[in-house]
Amino acid sequence: MDASPEKVAKIIDGIAIAKDIRLEITSDVQKMKEVYGKVPGLAVIIVGERKDSQTYVRMKRRMCAEVGFVSFDKDMPGDASEEEVLQAVKAFNEDSAVHGILVQLPLPKHIDEQTVLSAISLEKDVDGFHPLNIGRLAMKGRDPLFVPCTPKGCIDLLDRSGIKIAGKRAVVLGRSNIVGMPAALLLLHRDATVSIVHSKTEDPASIVRQADIVIAAIGRPETVRGDWIKPGAAIIDVGTNAVDDASKKAGYRLVGDVHFEEASKVAGHITPVPGGVGPMTIAMLLQNTLNSAKRVLAKEVPLEKLEIRPKQVAV
């Protein structure tokens, strides 16, 4: 494919795809309710008053209601102690109506995130942030119980857009525990040839230019420019950066890590921001929670009689 200036990439519509997924989930939840008298339960713990965190948590709780889950809300003050947060996690670990536990990040500075994430029961770690789930993700043949939602959503966007992964060159920008690193591992498990570009990489543009698939997760606005992109490449933009914009009522607008206007003239497929990866993150959280509830059911109902199967049964 050549990069003639009039060429325009196909937009990957994360809002529509996430909605399809929520419909699939809703139908499984209805069946679960009819046949077994149970619905999935998701507990969301938020500590402190960060505006962005409150917005995300509100969206998660709204989506839970939409698909028929029960949501358990625990809103704690910003000066809650680590011990108190751990107690809240423990209570949800022990509550059989709760199939998934999410502790909204970032936590206030006086609380150690790894201590809290490690306290979440492995069977309820729907964010996939528990070190054992991350460790399993890194191992061939040892599937984790839960895959982190944002990277999982990125792969699902590629799959549902008909983009082939096996054998392709993929470049991930960013190496965070919650997006870049797991995204690279997932691509590797799908037989892509994977490079990770990060803050110390020399000449990142030359690496990105080789990629058939780009996942950008660095949290720096419009860093990936049009001339970094191989014509026809698939671009998944995880960045959600607020930049000042006086023409907007809120005083800011959201932009990705990719310069959308430039990139969409070169790429074959591209996700918009907002409306790309963001909605998928929440859809994957719901999917992980549903699968967790199915796994609990599979322990109570003989597998051959189970009408809705979990993706994976044993630990």
Ligand X SMILES: Nc1nc(=O)c2c([nH]1)NC[C@@H]1CN(c3ccc(C(=O)N[C@@H](CCC(=O)O)C(=O)O)cc3)C=[N+]21
Q: Which residues bind ligand X (CB under 6 A)?
A: 55-56, 59, 102-105, 127, 149, 240, 254, 273-275, 278-279, 281-282
Q: Which stretch binds Mg ion (CB under 5 A): 133-141, 145-153, 171-179, 302-310?
A: 133-141
Distant-in-sequence, close-in-space partners of 83: CB < 8 Å, separation ≥ 6: none
> Could you tell me the smallest distance in angstroms from the CB atom of residue 281 to ligand X?
4
Within 10 angstroms of residue 72's Cβ, the number of other Cβ atoms is 19
Q: Which residues are catalytic?
A: 60, 104, 127
Within 10 angstroms of residue 6's Cβ, the number of other Cβ atoms is 5
Query: Which tokens is 132 given?
Result: 């054992």
Rounded to an integer, what distance in angstroms lies between the CA atom of residue 62 and that of residue 287?
15
Task: Name which of 57, 37, 40, 59 is nearest 48 in CA terms.
Answer: 57
Query: Which tokens is 94 given?
Result: 């022990």
240 binds, among Mg ion, ligand X, none (CB under 5 to 8 A by kind): ligand X
- The DSSP letter of residue 9 is P
> Could you tell me the smallest distance in angstroms from the CB atom of residue 89 to Mg ion?
25
Instruction: Kindly state the helix (H) or strand (E) to which residue 252 belongs, with its residue range.
Output: strand 252-255
> Could you tell me the smallest distance in angstroms from the CB atom of residue 120 to ligand X?
10
Query: Which tokens is 241 given?
Result: 């950066």
Q: Closer to ligand X at the Cβ: 85 or 297?
A: 85
139 binds, among ligand X, Mg ion, none (CB under 5 to 8 A by kind): Mg ion
- The DSSP letter of residue 282 is H
Q: Closer to Mg ion at the Cβ: 67 or 184?
A: 184
278 binds, among ligand X, Mg ion, none (CB under 5 to 8 A by kind): ligand X
Q: Closer to ligand X at the Cβ: 196 or 254?
A: 254
Candidate list 8, 15, 97, 139; residue touching Mg ion; CB under 5 A: 139
Interface ranges with Mg ion (CB under 5 A): 139, 142
